[in-house]
Amino acid sequence: MNARSLTLRNVNKSYDGKHMAADNVSLDIKAGEFVSFLGPSGSGKTTTLMMIAGFQHPTSGEIRLGERAIDKLPPHKRNIGMVFQNYALFPHMTVADNVAFPLRMRGVEKVEKERRSREALAKVGLQGFEKRVPSELSGGQQQRVALARALVFEPDIILLDEPLGALDKALREHMQVELKRIHRDLGVTMVYVTHDQSEAMTMSDRIAVFNEGRIEQVGTPNEIYFAPKTRFVASFIGDSNIIAASSLGDGRYETSVGVVDTKAAGSDRNSKAELLLRPEMIRLADGADPSRQAMKIDSTINYGDNLLVIGKLGAQAIRMRVPGVDARRLDGASECHVTWRSEDVHVIA
């Protein structure tokens, strides 16, 4: 399949002239890449997707698909495949006619059309469903038909708008694996909109985090998780402890939990910063550990495989995740000793 790159350059969108639904969005997506747009509702991720598909028009800015500028083209001339949140299958057509629809629009002759529709249905594991109508299929099956319909005509790129949102948890995880397999097999560029951070983490090559119409950060799942650039990214993805700090130079920071060493490059003395410490990076300390600190335990939530401890280090509220096997040591305890490695502490710029 012909994968193409997608470039958004200073794209702005405002519905009312005051509030920006998309605020100077710039993004380079490489050919064959799987990129997720992640953000809360109203963050501009869906607006941006709609502008790529052509259902919304940018107030200013440029969108290029490969070498082609597409921002002035109507949706039906963009050659983009899209999977909608509610599937948007044609209820009055059979599965076969649904999948063949884009080929019919492109004047593909009958034999070829049937062959390619059959192949596309095989790719999503729905052979033998050709004669059914959408209402006779389950949600997961409808989702597969929508996917087959979006890839049958070999589009330059496939957009997915929260495609798994309506499925139950087990089916959703199954479809995540399926989607990744199809992405790998076809090598097609995919843009995936979701508000589910674990979905974005598990599936994406890169994640673009949206907030209030802007892209806060673009990066690999690990960069987003371990090295967020803004406080919003740090708190939106995963569980977090964010600690106010002021620099002492050479990566040392004065905080409410004492002086914290980090591996960050030197910064100006007395400049303000925030430190991110993920709950699973804080560990129970041995009695002999010189770096250990006493933590007061306010409450615990037992997940079996891990225990979430909510408490205080001095005046600082702290959340800590203890692996289930170690958590048994904490039974009934009101205080424990904790430590962390300086390389785990991330300084939010």
The binding site for other proteins (CB under 8 A) comprises 53-55, 74-76, 78-82, 84-86, 88-92, 101-102, 105-106, 133-136, 149-150, 153
Residue 21 Cβ, how far from other proteins at the closest point, in Å?
18
For residue 115, which phi and psi values (nearest 5 degrees)? -60, -50
Residue 307 Cβ, how far from other proteins at the closest point, in Å?
44
Residue 129 Cβ, how far from other proteins at the closest point, in Å?
15
Residue 92 Cβ, how far from other proteins at the closest point, in Å?
5
Nearer to other proteins, 149 or 346 (CB): 149
Residue 5 Cβ, how far from other proteins at the closest point, in Å?
20
Nearer to other proteins, 134 or 219 (CB): 134
Nearer to other proteins, 158 or 245 (CB): 158
- The total of other beta-carbon atoms located within 10 Å of residue 195's CB is 18
Nearer to other proteins, 136 or 343 (CB): 136
Asked if residues 347 and 273 have their Cβ atoms less than 8 Å apart, the reply is yes
Nearer to other proteins, 91 or 304 (CB): 91
List Cβ neighbours of 120 (8 Å cut-off, separation of 6 or more). Answer: 99, 148, 149, 151, 152
Asked if residues 5 and 189 have their Cβ atoms less than 8 Å apart, the reply is yes
What is the rounded CA–CA span in Å between residue 11 and residue 61? 4
Nearer to other proteins, 148 or 348 (CB): 148
List Cβ neighbours of 70 (8 Å cut-off, separation of 6 or more). Answer: 52, 54, 63, 64, 78
Asked if residues 243 and 316 have their Cβ atoms less than 8 Å apart, the reply is yes
Residue 57 Cβ, how far from other proteins at the closest point, in Å?
14
